[in-house]
Amino acid sequence: MTDAWIPFSKPFRAPGELEYLDAVLESGHTHGDGPFTSRAARGIESITGSPHALLTGSGTHALELASWLLDLGPGDEVVVPSFTFSTTAASIIMTGATPVFVDIDPRTGSLDVDAMEAAVTERTRAVSVVHYGGVAPDMDRVLAIAHAAGIAVVEDNAHGLGARWAGRSCGTFGVLAAQSFHATKNIQCGEGGALLINDLALRPRAEVLREKGTDRSRFLRGEVDKYSWIDRGSSYLPSELTAAVLTAQLEAFDDVQKRRHAIWDAYAEGLADWADASGGTLMSPPAEAEHPAHVFWLLAPSRGSRDAMLDHLRAAGVGATFHYIPLHSSIAGRRFGRTPAPCPATDDFAGRLVRLPLWAGMPDSSVERVRDAVVAFRPAAA
C-alpha cells in the first residue's frame, strides 16, 4: 500500500469549538447544566422537533434513564432487535428486566416489525426500536402494535439525528428516545448523548434521576429553596466543556449533512453497476425513510467474500469494516436475554455487512479511491 490510509470515520471539527471552549474556561462554570448545556439542548429540540431534550454523558446514559423511567424490573420484557450495540440491551438488564431478541428486516438492518409483533407477550413492557444507519422501520405499524398491546415505544436513535419516517422526525415517535454524540456520529463531542422526552409527564422524574436522585434542577430554577435526595439516580450530566463542543457541532448541522449526503450519493451511484455484476447489495432505504447519511453499507454476496473484500479494501488503504456481533448469539445475550425465534436475517446481514468510510471532511479524492477499490473487487464465486 502506497496511498494514505482512509479511516472509516474521523470526528468533524466545527467552527466555534475553540471559541466556545475558551468561553467556558473563562467563565469558571465547567460543570454540567450551564448556558451551553441549555443551548445544545435547544439545538437538539430544533433539529428533532422533540418537546424536551436532556443532555447526558452518552447515548448509553440516555438509554439507562429511559429504562429507569419506565420502571422496568424483574419479570418484565423488552423487545429488542438482535442487530444493535450492546448497550441497547445492557440498559435493560441493569433493571433486572429481560431483553427479547428478534430479527431484523434485511432491507434496512432495522427491526422486523412482524418479528416484533410475534414476540409480544403479557410480560412485554416496551419495545426498543433501533434506527440502524438512521433508517427507521415502519413506525406507523410499530406504534399501532404497541398501542394495541399497551406497551411503550423507546427509540434508540443513536444513528438517526435528522432521520425521518413518512415526514416525521425519528426520536419523536416513542415516549422516550436516546441520541448519541459519540466521536463516530454525524454530530459529535467525543462522548455525549441526550434523552428526548416526548411524554412531558416524565420530565420531572427524568431530571431527578439525571441529577443523582435529587431535585437540584428545580433548585437551580428557583422553584425550591434547597434540594435533597428523593429518588434513585446517578450522575448523567455532561460537563459544560462537552456541551460547548456539542453546541458548535449542532450549529454546523446543515453543512455536515450536506457533505455526508454528497458522499453517500456518490457511493450509491458509483457502485450500482458493481453490485449488479457481483451479486452484492447496496444500502437502499425505502422511500418513507429519510436517512441522515450516517453510514453507507453494502452486503457482500457471501460471508467468505465479505472477509475477502475487507482484506482487499484494507490492502488498498481503505478503512472499511463490519459491524455488530448479533446480540442473540453473544455471551451476555445468551445469559441475560431470550430469543423466542431464530434470527436468520440478522445472522446473514451481520455476516455479509461491509461499511465504507464516510465522514464530513472526507475529500472527493478519497471517495473516489474507496469507490474504485470496491469496483476492483471480484468475489471468487463470480
pLDDT in tens, 196-238: 999 999 999 999 999 998 988 888 888 888 899 999 999 999 9
Q: Is the pLDDT confidence value at 80 over 80?
A: yes
Nearest to 237 by CA among 12, 25, 62: 62
Q: Is the pLDDT confidence value at 2 over 60?
A: no
Q: Is the pLDDT confidence value at 272 over 90?
A: yes
Mean pLDDT, range 124-144, rounded to an integer: 98
Mean pLDDT, range 103-126, rounded to an integer: 98
The answer to whether the beta carbons of residues 125 and 77 sit under 8 Å apart is yes
Whether the predicted model's global pTM rises above the 0.85 cut: yes
Mean pLDDT, range 121-128, rounded to an integer: 98
pLDDT in tens, 145-195: 999 999 999 999 999 999 999 999 999 999 999 999 999 999 999 999 999
Nearest to 323 by CA among 72, 57, 104: 104
Q: At what angle do helices 203-210 and 59-69 cross, to 10 degrees?
A: 120
Let me know if 228 is exposed, middle or buried by CB neighbors in 10 A (0-12, 13-18, 19+). exposed
Please give the pLDDT value at position 267: 98
Mean pLDDT, range 49-73, rounded to an integer: 98
Please give the pLDDT value at position 378: 87
pLDDT in tens, 4-43: 999 999 999 999 999 999 999 999 999 999 999 999 999 9
DSSP 330: S
Q: Is the pLDDT confidence value at 366 over 60?
A: yes
High-pLDDT (> 70) share of the chain, %: 99
Phi/psi for 22 (5° steps) reads: -65, -40
The answer to whether the beta carbons of residues 232 and 94 sit under 8 Å apart is no
- Joined together, the cell numbers standing for residue 59 give 447515548
Nearest to 359 by CA among 225, 261, 219: 261
* Distance of alpha carbon 154 from alpha carbon 165, whole angstroms: 15
When pLDDT is cut at 50, 70 and 90, the band that residue 142 belongs to is very high
DSSP 132: G
* Distance of alpha carbon 366 from alpha carbon 263, whole angstroms: 10
How many H-runs (helices) and E-runs (strands) does the chain carry?
Answer: 15, 13
239-275: burial string, b at 16+ Cβ within 10 Å, e else: bbbbbbbbbbbbbbbeebbebbeebbebbeebbeebb
Mean pLDDT, range 123-130, rounded to an integer: 98
When pLDDT is cut at 50, 70 and 90, the band that residue 382 belongs to is very low
Mean pLDDT, range 102-122, rounded to an integer: 97
* Distance of alpha carbon 148 from alpha carbon 160, whole angstroms: 26
